[in-house]
Structure 1
Amino acid sequence: MLKNKLRLHYSHLRDLLTKEEQKEASIALANSSLSLPIWDKNYFHLFLSILEKREVDTSYLLSILQGRDKEVIIPKMLPDHQLEHYLLTDSTPLRANTFGIPEPLSGITVDPKRIEVVFLPLLVFDRKGYRVGYGGGYYDRFLAECAENTVKIGLSFFDPVEAISDLNEHDIAMDFALTPEASYQF
């Protein structure tokens, strides 16, 4: 299926989730992360959620990362569909951008090559590990800057589709994807 059709369909399905369903699924996703072979790593990149859009609530995953004394890096959107990456500390000031995404205003920037694990926002993914996001290409550009061995993990409320039919040369496959009911390795 084409990305645009998948984007529309799964955005609609996600909008139908109740706040309680969103919360329970987000907790299940965070708990599923504990079974992944990533906990020997130190630098974890995590997106902060837009809860009004029924995204996966990453605050539960953030609690796990902080409880395990991991360095958490969060993104800030820049012009030209680029991301800048900041170490999240107790003193990192955050403010929602025009899309409603909480972002750092300032702080310590981190080179993408240092990031060992990236948790990826997505709407849906396929059985080969490719994802459909919002279509801006921010994460595809970011992942191209990361080290080759960076572990890429998608977080989804929904099971995979068979295949995304309009992949391009910039699409980068994930290593893992988590849903509330299962984990997938690619």
Structure 2
Amino acid sequence: MTKAELRSEFRQKRQALSEADWQNRCAGISEQFFSSFPIKLDSVLSIFLPIENRKEVDTWLIIRRLWRDFPLIHVAAPVTDLVAGTMENYQITPETVFVKNRYGIPEPPPTSLLAIPNSLFDIILLPLLIFDQTGNRVGYGGGFYDRFLTECRPDCLKIGLSLFDPVESIEDVYEGDVALNFCVTPDHVWKFG
């Protein structure tokens, strides 16, 4: 299937999840992440913030645990420049007040926080609708993450978070797509490359 076909199908599948099923899947993803990836105390991590009405993976489960159990880790969240098509990451803390952009994505206010250079990230947790068995992902189609990932260190771990297991393949992957190193689902961690 193409990205457009998969995008349509998995948006519907995600919205069809019951609240209890969605919560269980999100909790499973959080547990899989913490049990599978040793967190270094000085890590710098970027994590997306979920759009409430789209049933994205609830990354607050991961963020709050990082703040509680790994207080020395630098946790950052992206702020998108919708005109330029770019993302910048800013450090977030339990005191950060978030503002929703026009797409309903919560973002830290960039004027009040520390911007983290892309070259410093050790781990990036990526949003997606679905992924395939070779680590390609289907997002919302804006290309923000692909552009951002090309500016990160080659050894930075690119970890997708998915409510669903992979499809066999994505037909229209192109050379500008940046593949995942891992993808975490509620019951499994998929490794690529």
Shorter-chain TM-score bucket reads: over 0.9
Question: Which residue of the partner structure matches residue 68 of structure 1?
Answer: 70
Cα deviation for residue 57 of structure 1 reads 0.5
- For the aligned residue pairs, the C-alpha RMSD in angstroms reads 1.1
Q: Which of 105, 110, 118 is matched with 2:116 structurally?
A: 110
AA in 1 matched with 2:178? I
Query: How is 1:79-94 mapped onto 2 (pairs within 5 angstroms)?
Result: 79-94=83-98
Residue 95 of structure 1 pairs with residue 99 of structure 2: yes
Please give the TM-score of this superposition, normalised by the length of structure 2.
0.93
Q: 2 CA distance for matches of 1:183 and 1:151?
A: 13
Query: How is 1:39-78 mapped onto 2 (pairs within 5 angstroms)?
Result: 39-40=39-40, 42-66=43-67, 67-69=69-71, 70-78=73-81
Q: Which of 152, 160, 166 is matched with 1:160 structurally?
A: 166
- Does the Cα contact within 8 Å between 1:38 and 1:117 map onto a contact in 2? no
AA in 1 matched with 2:132? D
SS at match of 1:34: helix
Q: 1 CA distance for matches of 2:152 and 2:20?
A: 35
Cα shift readout 1:35-71 (whole Å, capped 9, x = no counterpart): 3334126101010101211111101011221122221
Q: 1 CA distance for matches of 2:131 and 2:28?
A: 18
Question: Which residue of the partner structure matches residue 145 of structure 1?
Answer: 151
Residue 185 of structure 1 pairs with residue 191 of structure 2: yes
How many residues of Structure 1 are paired with residues of Structure 2 in the alignment?
186
Identity across the alignment (%): 36
Shift in CA distance, 160/59, structure 1 to aligned 2, threshold 3 Å: same
**Structure 2: which 5+ residue stretches go unaligned?**
none
Q: 2 CA distance for matches of 1:55 and 1:18?
A: 13
Cα shift readout 1:89-117 (whole Å, capped 9, x = no counterpart): 24433100111110011311010100110
SS at match of 2:150: helix
Q: 2 CA distance for matches of 1:80 and 1:5?
A: 27
The 4+ residue runs of structure 1 with deviation greater than 2 A are 35-38, 89-93
**Structure 1: which 5+ residue stretches go unaligned?**
none
Question: Which residue of the partner structure matches residue 17 of structure 1?
Answer: 17
Question: Which residue of the partner structure matches residue 8 of structure 2?
Answer: 8
Q: 2 CA distance for matches of 1:19 and 1:97?
A: 24
